[in-house]
Amino acid sequence: MKSFFVSVLSVLSFVTFLHGQKDYSPIVLYWKTLEPTEKELYLFSYLTQMYDTHTSLIKETGRGDLTKWYYENRAELAYNVLDLLQEKEISKFIEWIDDFYSQDEFKEQPFHEALRYAYARSQAKGQTLFEQYESLFEKTESKPD
């Protein structure tokens, strides 16, 4: 009887533990463990990896459908952010990515969605706070076909 009680208690404890966990993706969990300087390094590495991958695709496969898809869905955003880093501090992008992942509805989103959010925030000039919110919401919700 005692072992049955211990088994039931163990199963209930485990189930309670699972329900208490947040379903963060591994990238989000990793991002949240980084210090600000490590986040800067991660972001810059991510951006340069997008550039390197795009360049490699062009060399290996030419400018076909795969390269076009990669450019439109990954590399173009990375290039735009790299261009902006000449006029904006990388710490602002880190702040915006942190803001993105602090929202529960985005905890499972891949890193490029967080980067898209940060880029949209960087483009929100001369708008009221409400207009900025609407603009960001539309950009994070819309997906290219």
The pLDDT tens digits of the residues spanning 74-109 come to 999 999 999 999 988 999 999 999 999 999 888 889
The whole-angstrom distance between residue 51's C-alpha and the CA centroid of its chain comes to: 17
Q: Which 3 state secondary structure label does DSSP give 81? A: helix
66/144 Cα distance (integer angstroms): 15
Global pTM reads 0.70
pLDDT at 19: 40
Among 2-16, 19-33, 34-48, 107-121, which stretch is predicted with the lowest mean pLDDT? 2-16
Mean pLDDT of the chain: 80
Sign of CA dihedral 6, 12, 17, 23: positive
67/101 Cα distance (integer angstroms): 29
Mean pLDDT of 117-142: 70
pLDDT at 26: 83
